[in-house]
Amino acid sequence: MIDWYKHYNSHTAHSIDESRFKPIYDILEDKGKNHGVFPALTCLGTTITYREFHSLVKKFASFLQYGLHLKKGDTFAIMLPNTIQFMVAFYAAQSLGIICVNTNPLYTSYEMRHQFKDSGVKAIIILDMFLDKLEQIIEDTSIKYVISTSVVDHMGFIKKYIAKALLRFKNSTKKINLKPIKYTKIIKSYKYPPAKNPKIELDDVALIQYTGGTTGTPKGAMITHKNLMANTLQIKEWTNSIDLNDHENVLTALPLYHVYALTTNAIGFIYMGWHLILVPRPIPIENTVKIFKKFKITVFTTINTLINALNNNPEFKKIAPRNFKILISGGMALQQSVAKIWYDITGTTVIEGYGLTEASPLVMAKVLGTTKPYGSIGIPFPSTQVKIVDESGKEVPTGEAGELIVKGPQVMKGYWNKEEETRLTIVDGWLHTGDMVRQDEDGYFYIVDRKKDVIIVSGFNVYPNEVEAALDKHPKVAEVAVIGVPHPISTEVPKAYIVKKDPTLTESELKDFCKKYLTNYKRPKTYEFLETLPKNNVGKVLRKDLKALSSKNLPN
C-alpha cells in the first residue's frame, strides 16, 4: 500500500488520542455547562441554547427513568424526522445507557415490525401522524410505552396553534386507538427527581443502526460509545486545518435517523459546539432554500441528489452563499458534473468521503480544501487502517481492484443477535466491507464497485432480497427478482422482474401491494414480466443477466 499520510495537513495527527474518549452524553454535559448561552438547535423558527437543550435532555431522561422505568441496556426506538425532539430523545437515552434504535419515520408497518421485534424495543418516541402504522403492529412487539410528538411541539404559541389546525385537518380521517404519552407533557408537566446516570463503559452499545449488509435482511449494527467518539475525534482532527470558530451554522437537512448525519451532525458538530439548523423535510427543495435565505450557513453535510436539486433551483442560484467552510458529500457517489455546477454557483468545492454503517460510518475522505484527484474518495482518517485484498485475503498490487477491509476504533462491535454474520464480517479485527476499491500510485483511493447487488437510491441502501421478499407475498407472483437501474436524479431505482402465477396480475396491482410493505424509495419504479428468470445450474437467480437484459432495453 502506498503511504497516504503524506497528504495529511500539518495540523492533522496520524492518530487520535483515545484517552479523550468518553460516553456520548458527556459531550452535551460539557457543552451545557461551558457553552450554555450559545445557540444549539433551530427548527421551524424555534432556537434553543445549549443550556436549554441540556435542561430538556435532563427532564426527558428523568421521565424515561422514573416514568417508564427504562434502564441501561434497554432498547428505545426514535422514529422522528430532524427535530429538536429527536436530539432531546437521543441524548436523554444516551445519558442513561439506553440503546437507541433509529427508525425511518416513513417506514411501513411491515418494516417497523421487523426492526422492533429484532431489537426488542421496549419504548418508542414517534411522530403523531404515524401512530396508525404503529398501532397495526404494536401487539407483535415488546413495546410497552409510546411517546408521541408533533413537528410543531417546540413552536411558539401562535405558530403552533395554526400549524396544529392544519395538521388536524390533513389527518382527520385517521382513527387511532392508541393512548400515547405526549412529549409536551413530559417536558412541561411531569415532575420527577433528577435521573441517576449509570456508569457507562466505552464498549457499551449506544446505538443499533439497521443495515442490510449484503444479505438483504436488515441487520442491526451495534455501534458503541467508543465507535461514535472515535468518529467524532476523527472529524475534529480532519477539520484542524480549517479556520473555524465556536459558533458555525450547520445545515442539517440529511436525516438524523441515518448514521451519516447522526454521527457528523448530531454528535460530531455538537462536540464542536456548533449551531445545528434542523430541517424536518428538505424536499421540496424550496424548504432547504429558505434556510439559506435566513441563515449564514458555513457547514453543510449533503449528498449528490440534494446538491443537484439546489443546482437546479433558480432561487438558490440567486442567493447561493460563497462562505462555506466545510461541505462534505457522502452516502452515494458524487457526480463530477454536479460538483462542477455547484462550484460554478458557489465557488466552493464539495469534498467526497466514504463510509459504511458498520464503521459508524466514517472511514475516509478527501483532505479539506483539496479539489483533486476527481472521483477519489480520499484517504483514511486518523487511526484508521485499510487494506485492499483479493479473495484469498492477500493484498493486491497498487492500482488493482480488491475488497476494502478496515480496522480502527470506529468499527462496530458486531451485529445484534447475529454471531455468525458478525464472524463472517469482522475477521481478526478487520471489517470486510464488500466494496471493491483501488489505490493509485499517489495513495488516493477510488470506489470501483459497490457491494454486490445493493441498490443506491439517493444515498440510501436498498437490498434486493428485502424487496423480493415483499413482492413474493403477493398471491399472483410465482417468482421475482429485483435489480437497480440507472436514474438521472436518484442514481438508481429498483426494477422488478416478475414471473406470474396468475396471468391476470398487473403492474398497478404490484405497485399498490408494495405500499403496504415498503417505504417509497424501496418500491420498484418499473416492472417487467418474464416467462422465466435466468438461473445457474443450482437454481440461483442470475441478477447479472437481468442487469444485462435491462441495459439492452435502456434508451440510447
- pLDDT one-digit tens code per residue, 451-486: 667 888 998 888 887 898 899 899 999 889 999 999
| Residue-level pLDDT at 118 | 97
What does the alpha-carbon distance between residue 15 and residue 236 come to, in Å, rounded to a whole number? 12
**In one letter, which amino acid is 30?**
D
Query: Cell numbers 429527536 label which residue?
Result: 86
Q: Which helix (H) or strand (E) holds 299?
A: strand 299-302
- Is the CATH code 3.30.300.30 the one for domain 456-553? yes
Q: Find out whether 244 and 325 touch, Cβ atoms under 8 Å.
A: yes
Encode 417-440 in three state secondary structure.
CCHHHHHHHEECCEEEEEEEEEEC
- In terms of Cα–Cα distance, which of 304, 248, 256 is closest to 81? 256
Three-point CA angle 54, 57, 58, nearest 5°:
90
What does the alpha-carbon distance between residue 501 and residue 505 come to, in Å, rounded to a whole number? 8
Domains of the chain by residue range: 24-35+42-200, 224-452, 456-553
| Residue-level pLDDT at 25 | 98
Nearest-10 crossing angle of helices 84-95, 24-34: 110
- In terms of Cα–Cα distance, which of 194, 183, 352, 340 is closest to 260? 352
| Residue-level pLDDT at 214 | 46
Residues belonging to the chain? 556
Interstrand relation of 362-365 and 351-355 (parallel, antiparallel or unpaired): antiparallel
In 418-441, which positions are buried (b, 16+ CB within 10 angstroms) versus exposed (e)?
A: beebbeebbeeebbbbbbbbbbee
- Identical fold for domains 224-452 and 456-553, yes or no, is no
| Residue-level pLDDT at 433 | 94
Q: Is 386 left (phi over 0), alpha (psi -120 to 50) or beta?
A: beta
Interstrand relation of 455-457 and 430-439 (parallel, antiparallel or unpaired): unpaired
Q: Of the CATH numbers 3.30.300.160, 3.40.50.12780, 3.30.530.20, 3.60.110.10, which one belongs to the domain with range 224-452?
A: 3.40.50.12780
What is the mean pLDDT of the segment spanning 488-513? 94
| Distance, C-alpha 413 to centroid of its chain | 18
pLDDT reading at 157 higher than 80: no
Written as nine digits, the cell of 447 is 470506489
Q: What is the pLDDT of residues 185-195, one digit of tens each?
A: 999 999 999 99
**Phi then psi dihedrals of residue 433, to 5 deg:** -80, -25
- For 24-35+42-200, CATH number? 3.40.50.980
List residues bridging with 378 in a β-sheet. 445
Written as nine digits, the cell of 11 is 495540523
- In terms of Cα–Cα distance, which of 386, 326, 335, 389 is closest to 356? 386
User: Higher confidence at residue 32 or residue 542?
Assistant: 32
